[in-house]
Amino acid sequence: MKIVTAAQMQALDRRTITEARIPGLTLMSRAGASVVAAMERVFAPLSGKAVAVVCGKGNNGGDGFVVARLLRQKRARARVLLMSQASDLTGDARTMYRRFMREAGKSAVHVCPAHDRTRTLLESSDLIVDALLGTGLSAPVTGPYRTTIEAINDAGRPVIAVDLPSGIHADTGVVLGTAVRAFLTITFGLPKLGLYVGAGIDHAGEVHVADIGIPPRYVDAVDSRITLLTLDSVRLLLPKRIPSAHKGTYGHVGLIAGSVGKTGAAALAAKAALRVGAGLVTVATPASVNDTLEAKLLEAMTVPMPETNARTLARSGLDRLLSFMNARSAVAVGPGLSTHPETVELIQALVVRLEKPSVLDADALNALAGCTSLLAECKIQPILTPHPGEMARLEEQATPQSINADRIGTATRFAQRCGVVLLLKGARTVVAHPDGRASICPTGNPGMATAGTGDVLTGMIVGFLAQRLSAWDAACAGAYFHGLAGDLAAAELGPAGMTAGDVIDRIPYALAQAVRH
């Protein structure tokens, strides 16, 4: 699904109205109806609930009037807080205001209420609908709008944002002075970029994309190279499980991972590869920690390799590791390897001789810091999976903060320059292709900010590679189902106590959702 800027969405709306001859009132009605439908799914029943619908004077407010009218039809006690005089309303917003007034009467509308009155109305509501400011906002919020947004946030009630949380820049996710913190955002037509970058991630809450009838041919014509991963798109990537299959059908994963004190990373990656359907998994690890790793794994195999005095992989094992890689369907290098100088030298020698589909993560990425030119020597396009700290080490003179300030730009530039598929981990993971495409992953939650979840992701991606998915497809599928498994764990356990193992346990359930969909 394409992700658009505010200007692109406005152009789509205009084209729909002028060329497809779908009236703006119809689009507004569909938008309002989609908000109420989403509210029913999440907050049912609506009957009897007190709902404050805070409306601005533009089309966003017009959507809000539709929401308020339909809520009353659902027997909710909907009230409108109008931030302008009714005489300031124009066009479709004015028409929808009049329709609401005809059905609800003057008592259901509070025009420019005093600050104390606004707070009282908000705090006495069960739900708040934010229909203040839409995608056209470009200047900081000031005056009554600012105080109203602050009152919405202070009310402590679930907030449903109409199209975009008020105060968020639609393209950058930047907070323009202040912004609504929504529990749920229903955005119309296509997802807006600002919902998935910057502070927009924290302010949007759960995002639902509502179809309001934009003709598909118009959407196809939009020049956007950024897409949103969806269950519908990634489910098509999953390998088929055929009746005549055996374990060799689904590939043999090779993992080069582990060192003293870090066999857990190797074990997590191995288990995750098996959970996404890989037929066989073998881990190459330093000889003295092989027994420890073997005790952690029942279904995966291990191979002891030459090691340094520090019990990390040694440079002398290069030929054996090359043979190991060449005998596997796909390989992952990095989890728990350490940054011992000799191990770094070994990794650099391995990278330039990669001839299998591969994932480079963790200490394999640290070994490439300052020498990313080695990636140009890879015979097959690898997948790199850095978090912002590792990305900053790959990009000289960068910091994690500067990486996060331009996640899409950073990822796409690096992927193009180095000829790799780059998966930049973090809130709303970005997957970038060497041809300039990028996808944003909507799944995942703060409970996954815990040790080992990156190793799980590496195992999932290499497991998909072993089943013959392309590098791009494996990275996209891995990111989406990794986040979905984490979301299932958070829904069951809560985010605070989650571990990487909880994510692994729910990988089959995440995949099953795609099969059932």
SS (H, E, C) 447-509: HHCCCCHHHHHHHHHHHHHHCCCCHHHHHHHHHHHHHHHHHHHHHHHCCCCCCHHHHHHCHHH
Question: Cα dist. 396→46, 98, 451 in Å?
Answer: 53, 59, 26
For residue 239, the 8-state DSSP code is P
CB 510 within 8 A of CB 485: yes
Query: Would you state the pLDDT for residue 45?
Result: 95
- Residue 107 pLDDT > 90: no
Summary mean pLDDT of the chain: 96
Question: What is the rounded average pLDDT of the residues 94-107?
Answer: 93
Angle made by CA atoms 461, 476, 38, in degrees to the nearest 5 = 130
Quote the CA–CA distance of 506 and 483 in Å, as a whole number: 10
Question: What is the rounded average pLDDT of the residues 197-212?
Answer: 96
CB 167 within 8 A of CB 176: yes
pTM recorded for the entire structure: 0.94
Q: What domains are there in the chain, each with its CATH number?
A: 6-224 (3.40.50.10260), 234-516 (3.40.1190.20)
Phi and psi, residue 273, nearest 5°: -60, -40
Quote the CA–CA distance of 394 and 387 in Å, as a whole number: 11
CB 219 within 8 A of CB 2: yes
Closest to 204 (Cα-Cα) out of 216, 192, 213, 214: 192
**At 156, is the secondary structure helix, strand, or coil?**
coil
CB 225 within 8 A of CB 437: yes
Do the strands 50-55 and 127-131 form a parallel or antiparallel pair, or are they unpaired? parallel
Do the strands 301-305 and 330-333 form a parallel or antiparallel pair, or are they unpaired? unpaired
CB 29 within 8 A of CB 58: no
SS (H, E, C) 328-381: CCEEEECCCCCCCHHHHHHHHHHHCCCCCCEEECCHHHHHCCCCHHHHHHCCCC
The continuous run of DSSP H or E covering 384 comes out as strand 383-384
Give the tens place of pLDDT for each residue, 114-144. Answer: 888 999 999 999 999 999 998 989 899 999 9
Give the tens place of pLDDT for each residue, 2-61. Answer: 999 999 999 999 999 999 999 999 999 999 999 999 999 999 999 999 999 999 999 999
Tell me what percent of the residues of the chain surpass a pLDDT of 90: 95
Query: Would you state the pLDDT for residue 517?
Result: 62
